[in-house]
Amino acid sequence: MLSIKSSRPRSPNSLAKAKPGTQESTLRLDLARRLHETLAQDLAVIGYKLDEIIGEADLDKKHRIALRKIRFALSETTKSFRDQIYRLRLTSREQLMRQVVEILGDINLEADFTYPEFNQVVEEGLSQVILELARNTARHSKATHFYLSFKQMEESIEFDIGDNGIGGVKPKDFRFGLASIDELLTQISSSYSSFSTSSGSSFKFQINISGSDNA
């Protein structure tokens, strides 16, 4: 049960800023991050570009079928690649919390990490979504506040993750590397939406309780 609710920037000596305890863990996390930020993002963008071509009205049937086969193969390759990245990461809630705090730096964090445990696939996908949203807040939003909250529904857990930054990004906006977030949310959530204004961005999504280990 991990929860952080703070109204002040944390000092560099905060417990939550502690790095993984061993050099091997640090190297594994760094490698996983680099692979995710380069190859995984590129694969997601290629997939969306293929979707655009497949959806063109004047594309003949023969080429549409061939491209769909390529798209399916790419999706399988991307899933396998992500699985390998996940295995490099430490997936405990405490480690996730520490990574988020480290990514955000001096950005104020208000987050509740006490949501129910999900099965491994959902838990790892959710962790990647949280980390990627934190990275985009740190890099692009000019925000001073990042939040993560959840609400228990009858058949699902509803998450709300966002910031108070300048807004202007959407899940499929390739400029900000958010294509992978869209793909991950499509895989693990029953529904999701996002909005972005000049006063901040928010991602809301639901994960079925059937994906929870407590279901």
Burial of 126 (0-12, 13-18, 19+ CB in 10 A): buried
List alpha helices for 37-119, DSSP H: 41-54, 61-88, 93-104
Q: Which of 163, 33, 186, 164 is nearest to 95 (CA)?
A: 33
**Domain boundaries, given as residue ranges, for the chain:** 23-88, 93-211
Number of Cβ atoms within 10 Å of the Cβ of 5: 9
Q: What is the pLDDT of residues 135-168, one digit of tens each?
A: 889 988 899 999 999 999 989 999 999 999 987 6
State the pLDDT confidence band at 67, using cuts at 50, 70 and 90.
Answer: very high
Q: Which of 143, 137, 130 is nearest to 176 (CA)?
A: 137
Contact 198, 175 (CB under 8 A): no
Q: What is the pLDDT of residues 153-212, one digit of tens each?
A: 989 999 999 999 987 665 555 444 567 788 888 888 877 888 888 889 999 999 998 756
| Average pLDDT value for the chain | 79
Asked if the model's pLDDT at residue 1 lies above 50, the reply is no
pLDDT at 42: 84
Asked if the model's pLDDT at residue 10 lies above 70, the reply is no
Distance CA 73, CA 86 (A): 20
Compare 22 and 72 and report the one with higher pLDDT: 72
Asked if the model's pLDDT at residue 46 lies above 60, the reply is yes
Between β-strands 3-5 and 108-112, what pairing exists: parallel, antiparallel or unpaired? antiparallel
pLDDT at 29: 66
Distance CA 6, CA 108 (A): 7
CATH for 93-211 is 3.30.565.10
Provide mean pLDDT across the span 12-34.
Answer: 53
Compare 18 and 104 and report the one with higher pLDDT: 104
Read off the pTM.
0.61
Asked if the model's pLDDT at residue 31 lies above 80, the reply is no
Asked if the model's pLDDT at residue 24 lies above 90, the reply is no
List alpha helices for 144-212, DSSP H: 179-188
Asked if the model's pLDDT at residue 19 lies above 50, the reply is no
Residue type, 18: A
**3-class SS of residue 175:** helix
